Structure 1
Amino acid sequence: MVGSIIIPFVILMIALILLLNSNIDEYINEFTSLDLSKLIALRIPLIITFLIVSIIIIIVVLFGIMRLSNRITAPIIDLTHSIENIAEGDLSQEIMIDGRIRGNEIGMLAQSFQNLLVTMRLGNVSYYRGDMTLAFANYNSALELFKSTKELHGQGMCLNNIGNIYRNWGDFDKAKEAYDKAIELGEQEEDIGGLSPRYNNRGLLFLSEEKWTEAMNDFDKAIGIDKEMGDDEGIATRKRNIGVLHMLRNEFDLAQTNLDEAIQLDSKWEYNVG
C-alpha cells in the first residue's frame, strides 16, 4: 500500500535527474553567457516550471493517499455493517473476506465474525432440533466474541437465548440471571425491539415458577413495547401467555378474554401479511 505513494515519487525524481543530467552542460554554458537582465527574464518561467512540478507532486500524493485510505477503510465499513446485521439477528448473509485483507488484522477479524455467523446458525439449528447442549456451547462462543468487540446488542441476544436454554433445563436461577442481564443490556442500548421478547421470556420463567405477579408484570411490559411498535403479532403472543397464566390460576373468564383477543390479533396480522 505504501508503495502506491512512494513509487510515483521515485519515478518522478529519476525523470527529473535524468533530464537535468542530459542537459547540464548546455545549462551551464547558457547561464555563464547570460547577463543579469536575461537571468531576471528567466525567473518567471522557472517559477512557473517549479509551480507546475509542485502541483503534479501534490496531485500524485493526494491520489496515493486516497487510494490507500479507500483500501483500508472499505473493508472496515463492510465488516462493520456485517457485524451490525449479525447483532440484529440477521444470519442470512455471508461475510466476504477480500484477498487484500486476508492475513492482516482486519482479515482475521472478518474471519472471526464469519466463524461467529456459522456458530449462531448452528446454535439456532441445534436449539430448534432440541440439542440444547450444542446450542448452549454455540451461543456461549458467540457471546464471548460479542464481548470482545463490545457489541452489546449481540450480547443481549445471546444471553436471551442462553436464558431460554437454562429455562428448558429447569435451571431457573441461571435462566433469570441471563434474562436479567439481557434486559439490562437492552435498556442500556435502548433496544426497544429486543426488549419485548426478553421481558416475555422472563415472564414465561416466572410462569413456570408460579410467580404470577412477576410474570404478569413482564407480560404487561412486553405488550406495552409491542403496542408502541405496532407489533400485533407480538401482542397476540403476550395475550396467549396471559391467557395461560389465568388458566393456571383457574381464572377461566379472564383466560378466555385474553385468548380471544389473541385469536383476533392473529387473524388481523395474517390478513395484513397475506
Structure 2
Amino acid sequence: MITSSSDYVNIGNTHSNIGNVYRNRSDHDQALLAYSQVVSLFQEANDENHSKVTMFYNNIGNIYQIGKEYMKALGFYEKSLAIQKKYPPADHPDLSSSYNTIGAFYDLLSDYDLAL
C-alpha cells in the first residue's frame, strides 16, 4: 500500500527505469506504457505537478520523438517545462535544456517565430 509521496516517487522511478530499459532495447511501445504508468500513478496521488514528473514527461516526449510523432512529443515537452517553471529559479540550467528542445521542435516544424 502506498502511504506517502516518497512511495510514489520511488515506485515512479522504478517504472521509469523499466521504461528506460525498454527504450534502450528499442521496444518503444513498452517504454511508453511504463512511462505512462508513472504519470498515472502521480495523477492518482493528485501530485501530477511533482517536480519528478518533468522527467517522466520528457521520457514520454522522447518516445514520441523517436516515433516521429512530433506534435505529441512537443506537448509532453511543454508539460514538462510548465512544471519546471514552478520549482527551480528562472535561470536554472534545466529550463534552458527544455527551451532548447521546444525551440528545436518548432524549427523542425518550420515555425521559426515560435522557435525563436
Aligned residue in 2 for 1:160:
16
Aligned counterpart for 2:31 among listed residues 163, 175, 186: 175
Write the distance in 2 (CA, Å) between the matches of 1:172 and 1:206.
9
- 1:255 deviates by 7.8
Aligned residue in 2 for 1:216:
74
Aligned counterpart for 1:240 among listed residues 70, 84, 100: 100
- The 5-angstrom pairing of residues 48-197 of structure 1 reads 151-189=7-45, 190=47, 192-197=50-55
Does the 8 A contact of 2:15 with 2:37 survive in 1? yes
Aligned residue in 1 for 2:56:
198
- Which protein has the larger Cα radius of gyration, Structure 1 or Structure 2? 1
Q: Which has the higher contact order (CA 8 A, sep 6+)?
A: 2
* Structure 2 portions without partners, runs of 5+: none
**CA 1:255–1:165 in structure 2 vs 1: closer, same or farther (change >3 Å)?**
farther
Aligned residue in 2 for 1:104:
none
Does the 8 A contact of 2:12 with 2:38 survive in 1? yes
RMSD (Å) for aligned C-alpha atoms: 2.4
Q: Deviations over 1:169-203 (max 9, x none)?
A: 21110010000001111223316111111111111
**CA 1:188–1:204 in structure 2 vs 1: closer, same or farther (change >3 Å)?**
same
Write the distance in 2 (CA, Å) between the matches of 1:156 and 1:254.
36
Q: Deviations over 1:52-93 (max 9, x none)?
A: xxxxxxxxxxxxxxxxxxxxxxxxxxxxxxxx9xx96xxxxx
Does the 8 A contact of 1:172 with 1:205 survive in 2? yes
**CA 1:214–1:155 in structure 2 vs 1: closer, same or farther (change >3 Å)?**
same
Question: What residue identity is the alignment partner of 1:176?
Answer: L
Question: What residue identity is the alignment partner of 2:71?
Answer: T
Q: Secondary structure at the match of 2:85?
A: helix
Residues 1:253 and 2:112 are matched in the alignment: yes
Does the 8 A contact of 1:243 with 1:254 survive in 2? no
Q: Secondary structure at the match of 2:68?
A: coil
Q: TM-score, normalised by structure 1?
A: 0.36
* Structure 1 portions without partners, runs of 5+: 1-83, 89-150, 258-274
Q: Which runs of 4+ in 1 moved over 6 A?
A: none
Question: What residue identity is the alignment partner of 2:70?
Answer: W
- 1:230 deviates by 2.9
